[in-house]
């Protein structure tokens, strides 16, 4: 339970105030909406708000992007302690563009679910022939029609690094292990492209110099990690490099865009 568990964090101070609310979280990152479950106590809500604020600020620092990246241009909503699913720590709902953390089981899953949201958000921005429920990673694997753009090329390089081997001709070891795990379980989950890429993103975030196990945990010392369901070794390094390049360029583009908009607004006000 968030109100009692202790979470490890190593990173820069992300806020001036000792306490923040979910109102502050929404204002800071521009979430479309934030909803809190009726069974969440005031103490749980207040502590979760601070942990969530720091986790998202840490994610923003790791990705080197502005606040609008975290809220996906204010299209993303967040729920805490609402709509839990049995056996599910957290989940992203594409129909409502909402990601949810269970009251007692969500911590450590933020990076994974946020990437699902990004993956979904980007689909119709990087491919011209996908529906509104599509994920970019799945569309890429199924050879959807790409929209030419340097940033899109960098995103596709991430998918290629995750799902293909170094030659670019064969499935990666991560993909093969994920398929084998699904065959053993008699269900498709681990080998779903969106899931593979979300786990690879988790590994990228956990390997950053900023550590926050409320944001991400479990890519190195869990049963899933021992099974090979997270990237390892040289493959992990290759994926991390691809993600680092993509988010560095994306963050630069978003900041430049924001600065141009601010300059234009300032000129309009002066006129």
Q: Which of 254, 246, 61, 70 is nearest to 161 (CA)?
A: 246
Residue-level pLDDT at 143: 96
Q: Which of 223, 221, 180, 224 is nearest to 198 (CA)?
A: 224
Radius of gyration of the chain (CA): 19
According to DSSP, residue 172 is labeled -
Residue-level pLDDT at 53: 93
Residue-level pLDDT at 3: 46
Per-residue pLDDT of the chain (271 residues; tens, 9 = 90+): 454 567 888 888 888 777 899 999 999 999 999 999 988 899 889 988 999 999 999 999 999 999 999 999 999 999 998 865 555 668 899 999 999 888 765 568 999 999 999 999 999 999 999 999 999 999 999 999 999 999 999 999 999 999 999 999 999 999 999 999 999 999 999 999 999 999 999 999 999 999 999 999 989 989 999 999 999 999 999 999 999 999 999 999 999 988 877 666 666 666 6
Residue-level pLDDT at 11: 82
Helix (H, G, I), strand (E, B) or coil at 122: helix
Residue-level pLDDT at 8: 80
Backbone angle region of 74, left / alpha / beta, with phi > 0 → left and psi within -120 to 50 → alpha: left
The C-alpha atoms of residue 165 and residue 170 are separated, in whole angstroms, by 6
């Amino acid at each position: 339970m968030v109100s009692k568990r202790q979470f490890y964090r190593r990173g820069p101070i992300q806020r001036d105030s000792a306490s923040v609310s979910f109102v502050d979280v929404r204002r800071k990152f521009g979430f479309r909406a934030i909803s809190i479950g009726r069974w969440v106590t005031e103490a749980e809500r207040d502590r979760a708000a601070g942990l969530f604020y720091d986790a998202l600020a840490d994610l923003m620092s790791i990705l080197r992007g502005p606040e609008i990246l975290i809220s996906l241009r204010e299209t993303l909503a967040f729920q805490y302690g609402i709509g839990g699913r049995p056996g599910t720590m957290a989940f992203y709902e594409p129909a409502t563009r909402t990601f949810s953390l269970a009251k007692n089981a969500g911590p450590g899953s933020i990076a994974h679910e946020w990437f699902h949201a990004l993956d979904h958000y980007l689909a119709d921005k990087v491919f011209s022939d996908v529906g509104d429920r599509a994920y970019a990673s799945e569309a890429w694997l199924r050879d959807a029609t790409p929209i030419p753009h340097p940033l899109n090329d960098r995103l596709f390089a991430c998918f290629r690094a995750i799902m293909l081997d170094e030659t670019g001709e064969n499935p990666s070891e991560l993909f093969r292990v994920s398929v084998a795990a699904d065959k053993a379980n008699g269900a498709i989950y681990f080998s779903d492209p969106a899931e593979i890429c979300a786990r690879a993103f988790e590994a990228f975030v956990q390997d950053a110099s900023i550590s926050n196990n409320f944001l991400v945990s479990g890519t190195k010392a869990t049963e899933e990690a021992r099974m090979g369901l997270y990237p390892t070794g040289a493959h992990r390094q290759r994926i991390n490099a691809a993600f680092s390049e993509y988010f560095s360029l994306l963050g630069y583009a978003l900041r430049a865009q924001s600065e141009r908009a601010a300059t234009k607004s300032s000129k309009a006000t002066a006129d």
